[in-house]
């Protein structure tokens, strides 16, 4: 499988329509469109009006409808230890994101309901999972490394070490062989 371009992390959710420039109102539905260009992925957020009036001949790589909620005020950090979300964001933004680690972290964050898998797409580089951050609307493209169960434990150990946890990898996999991310 060919690696994806370095542009896995997509810009933040916009506070206004990319076409009309009108600010979104709290609770308003809008459309997020992802386009795949030579430079990577590009995001556009459109009001329902702009969505209805768009050129339907220009097809995005992926799109979905969601509800706009303004960003909450940032909460103060209780301690300096890197969280799974911080580690995920740091790795996904790095020049060569480790696919297996990013995949496991995305699954952990999905289980914690921080990330929501919006779509699964298959492109030239293989299968990718498209996640949206529930609070910020940030979009992340995470390649599916097609991990086998016998590979999962070593990746979970690596993630636990990166997070500075002493959790044993066997505690992170349940008896059914599924990852039990907590």
Residues 32/45, Cβ–Cβ less than 8 Å? yes
Q: pLDDT category, 12, cuts 50, 70, 90? A: confident
Verdict on whether the full-model pTM lies above 0.75? no
Say yes or no to pLDDT of 170 above 50: no
Percent of the chain with pLDDT over 90: 34
Q: What is the mean pLDDT of residues 100-128?
A: 89
- The arithmetic mean of pLDDT across residues 17-23, rounded, is 95
CA 116, CA 106: separation in Å to the nearest integer? Answer: 9
| Angle of helix 99-111 versus helix 84-92 axis, rounded to 10 | 140
- Residue 97 CA to residue 93 CA, distance in Å, equals 7
Tokens 């009036």 sit at which residue? 53
pLDDT tens-place string over residues 96-106: 888 888 999 99
Residue 32 pLDDT exceeds 80 = yes
Residue 81 confidence class, pLDDT cut points 50, 70, 90:
low
Q: Is 163 exposed, middle or buried (0-12, 13-18, 19+ CB in 10 A)?
A: middle
């Amino acid at each position: 499988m060919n690696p994806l371009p370095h542009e896995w992390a997509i810009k933040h959710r916009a506070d206004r329509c990319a076409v009309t420039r009108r600010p979104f109102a709290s609770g308003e539905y809008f459309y997020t469109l992802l386009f795949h260009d030579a430079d990577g992925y590009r995001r556009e957020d459109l009001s329902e009006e702009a969505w209805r009036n768009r050129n339907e001949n220009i097809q995005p790589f992926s799109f979905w409808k969601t509800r706009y909620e303004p960003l909450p005020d940032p909460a103060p950090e209780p301690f300096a230890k890197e969280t799974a979300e911080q580690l995920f964001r740091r790795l996904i933004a790095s020049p060569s994101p480790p696919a297996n680690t990013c995949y496991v972290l995305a699954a952990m964050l999905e289980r914690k309901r921080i990330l929501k898998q919006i779509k699964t797409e298959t492109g030239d580089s293989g299968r990718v999972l498209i996640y949206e951050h529930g609070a910020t609307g940030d979009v992340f493209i995470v390649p599916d490394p097609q991990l086998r169960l016998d590979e999962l434990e070593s990746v979970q150990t690596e993630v636990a070490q990166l997070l500075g946890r002493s959790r044993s990898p066997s505690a992170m996999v349940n008896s059914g062989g599924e990852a039990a991310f907590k």
